[in-house]
Structure 1
């Protein structure tokens, strides 16, 4: 016992000695009860511990190794096309705004000129009042008749002028003959060689008559040419009047559907004012948006399948052209697909959204794998026949929404569709999901059989396509 403890006890005893007897007795009983409780607790704990230590122990079983369950997919390489998924809205390949080319009051509107209705090529949709243009045509035709009459008169004058030229030429020839004869007479008869004796005045007059006749003929020919030009001008005026009259009827330029109509009977149509908008129904266009990865694998003429979001109809089309530039913000390229809306009896609505699949270039020795099997876009986990795994590098050709087209950089027969982050090369896995843990009493550990050897009363090893959730190490 330490000196400190002794000191404390002497102190308490001196204090008790100074207390009255009535106060010292309860204090003593409290200490006695506390000591008895502590002693009883120690005895109880010692008894329980001794009983527990003397209980028999079950034999220890060897620890079990839990194999990771995996789902696998056999790998078969072949020639696969790059299937590129995209989407776009339907728009008309041909669209026109109908407007009057002449002014006039609208006197008739086709009942088919309503939004959503279809019209045929050549169908008259709007009729303007033709009265003024009919009068203009009649006036032009009268001018043409007058021009024709002028031409006939000019031609008659030309004929007369031609006859005058011939007559003057004949007279001139006669005057020349007479002049030659007069010259011989003067020489033979010894007459004076005067102008009158040589008949020079008559010859000059005949020559002047020829010149006047030719001038008249030239004038007549000019009149004929002018009359012909007048006829051409009159014909042009008639043609223009006919065109203007024809423009009082506004027709559909092709088979189309009305997408806008703003016209009524009684209104005054003026040139360039849009009355309606028509969208051609022969061919529609869908603009797809492709990124740089997709552009590597597509070419003009590639087949495209498009699914309508409204009726679910699948349309066939071809990739007809690319946009001439890359979008600066999205860095994508527009690709246009032409389709015929007449492939189905269900209407293909303008501005409806179509999901498109482009059949791009074919890749040899490739296959499609689930996106869940691809790790970091660089490799997959392969399972061997002995249920061990190893990473296999891949070349990612194109990634779709659910699948990826890849080629493998090493041989592989089976891949794991959903690899775990904890996988390590050489790790054993299982694909059997039917074996349950053994129930009942624990059994002593048995000696492990050699590789390929089965334990007594144990089923043969199952193929790699099934799962074993637990196996003895």
Structure 2
């Protein structure tokens, strides 16, 4: 403590102020140096980052155009059989019920033929009597001619016909012809008591039963042809040019596949375009086609196990159209703004390319121009696509280092 007191006495006020000033000056100099020589970060240009994308290689190939549509099954021909004669129905076949089938010429039902059989017998008797009377008259004419020749007289033409019984002979011949005509009518009426199928038929509706009294013109049964059905198909008018339509664009019709509902995609029937309907639907403005399907009920051995068609059912239809040569298939998800696709160029940049669609389907479109084999189609999404932006393949990790 004594030493400290002594030192303090040696340093006067002036020295203390001077010492403080020196210390502050050194601190300020040091601070200025550090502030003027502090480290600075060097600015470098930002490195471009390539956006990863998924791509698919484009290859052209021939494509068979398929026009897909919906259709309604309808009979190719339907007939409502009516009675040609009156009477009681005395016999019907067991197959005479809705859904029953008859072969062409097979009996469906029988109207009581008794009265008509009696009429036929009567007309045959009338014919026999007329033939007898004609022969008698021919004999009388022969006798009159002989007597006339023996007389050796000459008379006027009109009197000669009377002498030779020409009017009586003509009347006898006319009576025979009338009797034969009445017999033919009676036999025809008898034949009409037996109602037969005019074609291979399916019973759609039954109007009478056993014991029913029917008049001429009365409805008996409604039949539809089982040899073929029609499918009425509605398609857009701009699809017609791709199809072969008899009488319109070709001599033969395009092949068709018909898929009945409930049978799966692998089950189908085949048909052919038969004709183009006269007008378009007034509401949908769609064109109509008729497609013919043979053996729609699968009655023939070749079609056993295939799906039968039912009248008025809705079916899916695939109509085979023309073939696209060297077309590129583009997924619809890779089509942008309706007519543009994204291509990754060989320099790994984006090319937004407009294309002309040659054919479009549900999930894909087909393009014939603006593309080359081997080009890379971008199939993934880009948030903000810009022409020429840098890209890299998501399947190539090494591309990120480029």
TM category, shorter: 0.7 to 0.9
Please point out which of 283, 304, 319 is paired with 1:358: 319
C-alpha deviation, 1:376, in angstroms: 2.8
Taking a change above 3 Å as real, the CA distance of residues 221 and 303 of structure 1, as seen in their structure-2 partners, is same
1:207 aligns to 2:136 (yes or no): no
Partner residue in 2 for 1:267: 212
Q: Which has the larger radius of gyration?
A: 1
Taking a change above 3 Å as real, the CA distance of residues 367 and 210 of structure 1, as seen in their structure-2 partners, is closer
1:331-357 superposed Cα distances (whole Å, 9 cap, x missing partner):
111011101223343432222322111
Listed as ranges, the gaps of 5+ residues in structure 1 are 1-58, 172-205, 433-465
1:231 aligns to 2:176 (yes or no): yes
Partner residue in 2 for 1:416: 378
Partner residue in 2 for 1:390: 351
Distance 1:211 1:143 in 2: 31
1:319 aligns to 2:273 (yes or no): yes
1:82-123 superposed Cα distances (whole Å, 9 cap, x missing partner):
221111121111211122121111112211011122222222
Cα contact 1:64–1:472 (8 A) shared by 2? no
User: Which one has the bigger helix percentage?
Assistant: 1
TM-score normalised to the size of structure 2?
A: 0.77
TM-score normalised to the size of structure 1?
A: 0.66
Residue range with higher mean Cα deviation, 81-90 or 414-423: 414-423
1:281 aligns to 2:226 (yes or no): yes
Partner residue in 2 for 1:328: 282
SS at structure 2 position matched to 1:329:
coil
C-alpha deviation, 1:358, in angstroms: 1.3
Distance 2:52 2:141 in 1: 113
Please point out which of 321, 327, 338 is paired with 1:377: 338
Distance 2:344 2:396 in 1: 13
Distance 1:209 1:382 in 2: 113
Cα contact 2:329–2:365 (8 A) shared by 1? yes
SS at structure 2 position matched to 1:355:
strand
Distance 2:49 2:85 in 1: 89
SS at structure 1 position matched to 2:388:
coil
Listed as ranges, the gaps of 5+ residues in structure 2 are 1-41, 246-252
Partner residue in 1 for 2:362: 401
Distance 1:232 1:337 in 2: 51
Please point out which of 306, 310, 327 is paired with 2:258: 306
Please point out which of 94, 98, 105 is paired with 1:115: 98
C-alpha deviation, 1:241, in angstroms: 0.9
1:471 aligns to 2:400 (yes or no): yes
C-alpha deviation, 1:417, in angstroms: 3.1
Distance 1:112 1:306 in 2: 29
Distance 1:68 1:469 in 2: 13
1:145 aligns to 2:106 (yes or no): no
Taking a change above 3 Å as real, the CA distance of residues 387 and 266 of structure 1, as seen in their structure-2 partners, is same
C-alpha deviation, 1:294, in angstroms: 0.8
SS at structure 2 position matched to 1:296:
helix
SS at structure 2 position matched to 1:338:
strand
Please point out which of 300, 305, 326 is paired with 1:345: 305
Distance 2:218 2:156 in 1: 66
Taking a change above 3 Å as real, the CA distance of residues 284 and 65 of structure 1, as seen in their structure-2 partners, is farther
